[in-house]
Amino acid sequence: MVNELKAAYLDVTPEIAKAIENEQPVVALESTIISHGMPYPKNVKTAREVEAMIRENGAVPATIAILNGRLKVGLSDAELEYFGKSGLNVAKASRRDIPFIVSGGKEGATTVAATMIIAAMAGIRIFATGGVGGVHRGGELSMDVSADLDELSRTNVAVVCAGMKSILDIGRSLEYLETVGVPVVGYQTDTVPAFYARSSGFSVDYRIDTPIAVAEALLSKYELGIDGSILITNPVPEKYALDSNKIENTIDEALAEMDSRGITGKETTPFLLARIAEQTGGESLETNIKLVLNNAKVAARIAVEYSNLASASKRG
């Protein structure tokens, strides 16, 4: 049941509200990836394809954003277009930003952290994205650690992603997740994927090969009242994976340019993503799109199994 005070801030589309009410499968989607993660018009096209992929696999998509100060769960076609077209002109909204965007009646493209918060308010348990934020390279000095990591430790929404980009320090990001108690699951893999590449070389905490087994672990966690997410990492399909050495060089160049231009804070991730896409002549963008679609598919299948288990568990 959605808390009434919070519900007053939420606009949930009738289709999504009905699905949540009846414990039918719903998959949340973020909007920073649309506004700040990909260029227009591919971002809008991708967002629509991701929604369609979720439907094809038996779940209802719920793209989340903030519009006119309202927490939107489910966007119309025109709203999706608006977020895609506005790009960097829309504020990137993470946990700290939500109250100000709401009280100011403004717009915000929600990061993984903010999307998790709003999804949880609405009663959605599963969320698909491309990659989550993490500890940035050099983060042990700059302390640039994404708010996504802390959010994963406290909010009850499972996140399906393709691991972390190697613009980040993947090893330290995993250490941080271990400290705050977030399990990293490998979906049909023993090693944590590195976004464009299928493996970072780091071991996952648990390898799980079927959607139902993921759903069972999730249900145990939630019924036991152990707060926080499960990070489900799903490698990009083999045929779309990029050569990891090639992409490493591009990432190093982008990081060096970022340093020399003095880019810090929330600008770092969008800057690096755009630079890498430019440098690879759009190749990295194509891989990015394919891996998001693949995550949407897996998330929808997990959501279907979770909804079966959750309703059976309540009845029993």
Give the residue numbers annotated as catalytic, written as ranges. 30, 165
Find the shortest distance in angstroms from Cβ 270 to ligand PSU: 7
Distance of CA 286 to CAs 43, 90, 224, 281, Å?
11, 23, 40, 10
> Which residue from 19, 27, 112, 214 is in contact with ligand PSU, where contact means CB under 6 A?
112
Cβ distance 95 to 154 under 8 Å?
no
Establish how many alpha carbons lie within 13 A of residue 15's alpha carbon, considering only the half-sphere containing its beta carbon.
12
165 binds, among ligand PSU, Mn ion, none (CB under 5 to 8 A by kind): ligand PSU
Pick the closer one to ligand PSU by CB: 72 or 266: 266
Considering only the stretches 27-35, 50-58, 139-147, 215-223, report the one whose residues sit in contact with Mn ion under the rule CB under 5 A.
Answer: 139-147
Find the shortest distance in angstroms from Cβ 269 to ligand PSU: 4
Tell whether residue 217 is a contact of ligand PSU (CB under 6 A). Answer: no
Tell whether residue 144 is a contact of Mn ion (CB under 5 A). Answer: yes
Considering only the stretches 25-33, 117-125, 176-184, 235-243, report the one whose residues sit in contact with ligand PSU under the rule CB under 6 A.
Answer: 25-33
84 binds, among Mn ion, ligand PSU, none (CB under 5 to 8 A by kind): none
Find the shortest distance in angstroms from Cβ 138 to ligand PSU: 13
What is the spatial distance between Cα 186 and Cα 206, in angstroms, rounded to a whole number? 6
Site string for ligand PSU, 132-151 (x = CB under 6 A): -x------------xxx---
Token digits of residue 91 = 């504020």
194 binds, among ligand PSU, Mn ion, none (CB under 5 to 8 A by kind): none
Beta carbons within 10 angstroms of residue 95's beta carbon: 18
Which of 67, 75, 64, 76 lies closest to 31, judged by CA?
64
Distance of CA 96 to CAs 17, 165, 204, Å?
26, 23, 30
Token digits of residue 124 = 């959605």
What is the spatial distance between Cα 260 and Cα 190, in angstroms, rounded to a whole number? 37
Strands 91-93 and 108-110: parallel
Find the shortest distance in angstroms from Cβ 307 to ligand PSU: 25
Considering only the stretches 55-63, 72-80, 126-134, 229-237, report the one whose residues sit in contact with ligand PSU under the rule CB under 6 A.
Answer: 126-134
Which of 187, 96, 93, 175 lies closest to 134, judged by CA?
175
Cβ distance 194 to 241 under 8 Å?
no
Find the shortest distance in angstroms from Cβ 291 to ligand PSU: 9
97 binds, among ligand PSU, Mn ion, none (CB under 5 to 8 A by kind): none
Residues that bind Mn ion (CB under 5 A): 144
Residues that bind ligand PSU (CB under 6 A): 30, 32-33, 37, 111-112, 130-131, 133, 146-148, 165, 195, 266, 269, 273
